Amino acid sequence: MRYRTVLLDLDGTLIDHFGAIHRCHSHAMRQIGLPAPTMQEVRDAVGRGLEDAIADLAGAENVARILPYYLEHWRATNLQDVKLLPGAKELLERCRTHGVTCAVFTNKRGDASREVCRHLGLTPLVAEIFGAGDTAWLKPQAEFSAHAVRTLGAEASSTVVVGDSVFDLAAAQNGGLGFFGVTTGTHSADELRAHGATRIFPDLTAVSAALFG
Sketch out the chain's domains with CATH numbers.
Answer: 5-16+82-212 (3.40.50.1000), 18-77 (1.10.150)
The pLDDT score that the predictor gives to residue 92 is: 98
The pLDDT score that the predictor gives to residue 8 is: 98
The pLDDT score that the predictor gives to residue 1 is: 60
Mean pLDDT across 87-95: 97
Mean pLDDT across 54-60: 96
Mean pLDDT across 168-186: 97
Measure the CA–CA gap between 69 and 74, rounded to whole angstroms. 8
Render pLDDT for 14-41 as a digit per residue (tens, 0 to 9). Answer: 999 999 999 999 999 999 999 999 999 9
Q: What is the pTM of this model?
A: 0.92
The pLDDT score that the predictor gives to residue 67 is: 97
The pLDDT score that the predictor gives to residue 49 is: 87
47: pLDDT confidence band, cut at 50, 70 and 90?
Answer: confident
The pLDDT score that the predictor gives to residue 48 is: 87
The pLDDT score that the predictor gives to residue 2 is: 86
Render pLDDT for 133-162 as a digit per residue (tens, 0 to 9). Answer: 999 999 999 999 999 999 999 999 999 999
